[in-house]
Structure 1
Amino acid sequence: MHRGPITSVLSTQHDQIVYTGGYDRCIYQWNRATGEGTFIGSHEHIINSLSLSENGKYLASASSDYTIQLYDTGTNTRIRTLFGHADDVEAVAFAKQDTLLVSVSRDRRCLVWDIETGAILREFHGHSKDVLAVWIHGDKAYTTGDDGYVLVWLYETGEIVGEIGPFDYELDTISGSNQKEVFALGRDDGTVIIYDAATLQEKKIIKAHLQGVKRVNFSPSGNYLLTAGYDHLIKLWNYETGDLVDTLLPHKYQWERSLVWTEDEKSILGASFGKTYCEWSIEKGKVISDEIEMATPSINDIALTDAGDIITASDDGKFRKNGIEIAKSTGVLTNGVAVARDGSYYAWGDHASQVHIVHESLQQMVSFDLNTGPVNSVYFHEEDRQFYIGTYGGYVHVISTEHLKEIGRSKAHDCAVKALKVEGDLIITAAVEGTICLLDKKSLSLKAEYIGATELLNDVFIDSKRDRIAIVSRDKNVRLFDLHTGRILDQHNEHQYSIKSVTVTDSGYIVSGDYWGYIVVWNPELDVNTGPIRIAQNGISAIRQLGNDVYASSYDGGIYHVREDGTHTEVLRLFEQFPKEVISH
């Protein structure tokens, strides 16, 4: 079974076989009838998507290790590894009667590969930003990405024959129906637009979700459309009428990143936060065997008390202090956690847009439904004893511990709030599109906004002693800004991979961690860097400081103590993500 979130699910051979790939870098084949899983291969990093050839003979996997692997499904053996991209490969699709493969990547290129030889036949450079999704229809590739365009191009020549856009948001999902000759796009405002594949004319708009649409997928017949959003809902629509057919009952382990129909259109298979995939019966409208505990304790965030206690947020949604469960949870993935420095209050934010606050002395838990998308960041401000929460819907929420109720909310960004901190009278938020906002803490009104990075912004830390902000992003730079003017003060690009988290020690050292498990320790005053040093087998999910001590959590289930000289030790482990037999493979 998987030991990390599952990112991609495929069904084949008359729905008897299922393939999955995930954060644990592994590919599994499942017997759908028995539930037995067989390990068939692995990458060096996260698997982002899988694709099956039309004849079912080939399986292709796209990975953040910049490669594509091609497998023979008859023998479950790897045929070859395709090298050519310079960044994460996000998606792949077979074309021209399974003789070609089209891949899209965050290196902004689309490559066309010869299946027989593994040679690159064509490079497509039409997109100006990361390319995230692809659909093949006839002799055309339909690609979307961060530049807000749908580009239609001939995959044998590279000629652009149509475009839609630009939209004022990222386009990370596209799905089409060859039977109906249409395709659908999911939008950040919760709507789905369906287009004619030949003319690119808009056919209909469906107001599908309260927040952004994460996934769209046509059924094999084209009669139905599946949509999934940041509101944690999965809906089924009649394509011809645009009417809602059903809303599937949510499952605590569901991840809307990948959802597919079975060939008989009786079930939906979906990604999950670990171990095995989810399966919904369309007739029943709910998950089959939902009593199985599937998620692993892969760590997404940590918080620290002055006493040195470590509080974790994890894929299995359990509320832990120092590795021990301290309160009953719903089991839904928690992505953010915060704690009062004296340990009196804890708060976890989950994938279903809920925040759970535990009072230490009373052993009391209060939950809040925010309804603005999955919670991404939670911060406790010592001065006013309030929790500040950032969500995928772009909102900032404020919850008072004195009254144990929500006392304010504000739409800070048009897209997801990735991180937030509070300093004095300011709330500082970092968003997906690379902007930093400064909000007035009392009124929650916007005071200032500036561009922090050229790509997705992942984390922000306020160095109050020196009136500066440290930010990290997908563009692999660590930047320092003046807190009040937004002027950039300094930066470095020692990381080779996308950076996930950052903190600043009391003495001014800046420690950052990336998605490959590396850290860099930077002293900007002395202009000295230590690293990159690999401390974990998977990405660094969070970095937090306690004085001059730094603690880094990893998706591999471990927490590491990092010193200012770059030395490090493991201090806590929730599980072993990579067994020796998988690593040696």
Structure 2
Amino acid sequence: MIGHAGPISGISAYRDDFVATAGYDNRVILWNQKTGEAMSRVIHDHLANQCTFSPDGRLLVSSSSDYSARLWSVPDLRLMAVLGEHEDDVEMSVFHPTERMVATASRDHRVRVFDYNGEMLHCFAGHTADVISVQWNHSGDQVISSSDDGTIKRWSLASGQMVQDIDLGGVETDTIAIHPNGVIYAGNDDGQLIVLDGESATKVDAHAAGVKRLAIGIEENLLVSLSYDRTMRIWDISSGFPRPKVETSLPSEVWPRSCAFAGDSHIVLGTFGSTYQSYDYQQDRWIGREVAPTYGLNAVYAHESGRISVGDAGIVWRDNQELTRPGSLCNFFAPIADRLITGGQLGIIFDVLTGLPIHQHRSPLNCGVSFRRENLEHVIVGTYTGEGLVFCRSNNGIDFVAELKLHDNAVKGVASSGRYIFSVSADGSCTWFDKDDLTLVKTVHRAHDKIANGCVGLGSGEFASISRDLKLRIWSTDFTATVIDTPYAHSIKCIAASADTRWIATGTYDGHIGIFDRSTKTWAALTRPTASGISSLTYDPRQEVFVGSSYDGQAYECAIPVTGG
């Protein structure tokens, strides 16, 4: 049976006929909306991020981290054209309302316009960070883009120039939606809706965490917002200003990254499972589609009781045997004395060995690391909203200690070394906090040229970090970095160090694992055990190997090179 093997990151619907989904398994799938059955499937060379139907439903465009957008016929999904020229991931592509053109948004900071033959007609440069979202205005003579640089820009096809630059105060916007009357709705990382009507901008507090996707139902005069606070809100925009209409909590399998208006009164949403989910906004109920889990792994840990892993299905495995079911996609493991914790999309911290919840946060959880303070074992957990949640092991169990503001954006990695807690963020920054009094010591705002994805402690107050900029950085005790080139062509996802910290392993989104030798300052090993991404790395001191978990559901060992040193 055709389905996804990884999370669905993008979704689109055409009337009540078709639904298309794009996934982190590189797949693009066309579904019969009436029966829910898959009709066709095609595969990109890397993550499929988004997909969109043409206005007449005869074509589909998909956007991928393989640096391309691709044009497909519907319903057979025959490849019609490859929209190339991109120098980084393509996050979104949209059809012109009437002409044979497609606009794309790329993490190379550019907006491009192509014809249906794949010829690039325009390349708009002006954003200073990743372009995440793009839309056409109603008349089709302008392209509107939003970026991680905190701006929304208008581009004219006639002049080939930027005609408006809207500064949102540096707050990142992942999504925009445009009404035919010209009003622009944007969602930012502060959980706000921004209504741009001519020269006026109005902010509406909408969610407790970042707004990740907006969708407009033009005929219905409705706006949908999805947030990492695990809610979906539907707004009446008949007056132009969004007024609350419906609010619902998202089922645990729904990934609040994509949604679309479909037939009847249905909204379709991407999930962490094999197919999409549906919601009826008139009846205020979830349709109850059975969404089979996928078994991609997000984290692996070498525990004394065995090798433990967890992933999209929210099932904890020990040596390939089911251990517990937290019931939520989980992203990390962190030991704290005799306990092990995990957490993820629901914002709940779980005890791995019992599956019981310990703490509820308002946004998803990304990473964690243990450290010792006041002669007690502690752990800090990094969140999508920039906080570090500190806990300690006590006679009563695991107690909440403090909430630290680590970053203004998602915390992508935390590490411990010497007297410091170190963290890196999606905004490229890094911070040092003092373990003893939990106070901020240092922040480097532009520590990385792109999103930082992880870090590891190297002992004696030193750290290493990795980023989408394809660099490995070694941070010394004076808060400066040695920048090391890597052998990769795609984003680095994860990092780990050996017990003696001589060896640093890094894993990429396209399945490579490389090992850097700090003593010789060379890359001593490079392997590609899978075409799927390496989601996390850990060092197993018992077997003296690195272990990488993968989105394909497997864990791969990578041995330390044998040297004469």
Q: TM-score, normalised by structure 2?
A: 0.93
Residues paired across the two proteins, number: 549
* Structure 1 residue matching 2:173: 3-state secondary structure: coil
1:554 paired residue among 537, 550, 553: 550
Deviations 1:347-381 (A, max 9, x none): 111201111114x5xx472431122x100012233
Conservation of the 8 A alpha-carbon contact between 2:330 and 2:344: yes
Q: Match of 2:9?
A: 7
Conservation of the 8 A alpha-carbon contact between 1:150 and 1:164: yes
Matched AA of 2:298:
N
Distance 1:409 1:112, change over 3 A: same
Conservation of the 8 A alpha-carbon contact between 1:61 and 1:92: yes
2:360 paired residue among 348, 365, 369: 369
Distance 1:113 1:39, change over 3 A: same
Q: Match of 1:534?
A: 528
Counterparts of 2:530 and 2:110, CA distance in 1:
30
Counterparts of 1:555 and 1:223, CA distance in 2:
39
Q: Match of 1:242?
A: 242
* Structure 2 residue matching 1:118: 3-state secondary structure: coil
Over aligned residue pairs, what C-alpha RMSD do you find?
A: 2.0
Matched, 1:545 2:539: yes
Counterparts of 2:503 and 2:417, CA distance in 1:
19
- Which deviates more from structure 2 when the two are superposed, residues 38-47 or residues 398-407? 398-407
Deviations 1:228-255 (A, max 9, x none): 1121111111223533111123201011
- Which deviates more from structure 2 when the two are superposed, residues 547-556 or residues 253-262? 547-556
Conservation of the 8 A alpha-carbon contact between 1:426 and 1:441: yes
Q: Match of 1:385?
A: 377
- TM-superposed CA distance for 1:422, in Å, is 2.4
Paired-residue identity, %: 26
Distance 1:249 1:231, change over 3 A: closer
Conservation of the 8 A alpha-carbon contact between 2:16 and 2:34: no
Aligned pairs for 1:543-582 within 5 A = 543-547=537-541, 548-565=544-561
* Structure 2 residue matching 1:557: 3-state secondary structure: coil
Q: Match of 1:302?
A: 300
Identify unmatched segments of 5+ residues in structure 2: none
Matched AA of 1:385:
E
Counterparts of 2:365 and 2:406, CA distance in 1:
14
Conservation of the 8 A alpha-carbon contact between 1:518 and 1:532: yes
Q: Match of 2:269?
A: 270
Counterparts of 2:268 and 2:483, CA distance in 1:
47
Conservation of the 8 A alpha-carbon contact between 2:39 and 2:75: no
- TM-superposed CA distance for 1:74, in Å, is 4.5
- TM-superposed CA distance for 1:452, in Å, is 2.5
Deviations 1:133-161 (A, max 9, x none): 10101211001112221110113542211
- TM-superposed CA distance for 1:275, in Å, is 0.4
Counterparts of 1:531 and 1:184, CA distance in 2:
48
Q: TM-score, normalised by structure 1?
A: 0.90
Q: Match of 2:123?
A: 123
Matched AA of 2:364:
P
Matched AA of 2:393:
T
Distance 1:441 1:119, change over 3 A: same
Identify unmatched segments of 5+ residues in structure 1: 568-585
Conservation of the 8 A alpha-carbon contact between 2:21 and 2:28: yes
Conservation of the 8 A alpha-carbon contact between 1:135 and 1:176: yes
Counterparts of 2:105 and 2:355, CA distance in 1:
48
* Structure 2 residue matching 1:274: 3-state secondary structure: coil
- TM-superposed CA distance for 1:415, in Å, is 0.8
Aligned pairs for 1:29-44 within 5 A = 29-44=30-45
Matched AA of 1:347:
I
Distance 1:74 1:267, change over 3 A: closer
Matched AA of 2:344:
D
Counterparts of 1:529 and 1:384, CA distance in 2:
37
- TM-superposed CA distance for 1:473, in Å, is 0.3
- TM-superposed CA distance for 1:17, in Å, is 1.4
Aligned pairs for 1:94-109 within 5 A = 94-95=95-96, 97-109=98-110
Q: Match of 1:93?
A: 94
- TM-superposed CA distance for 1:96, in Å, is 5.5
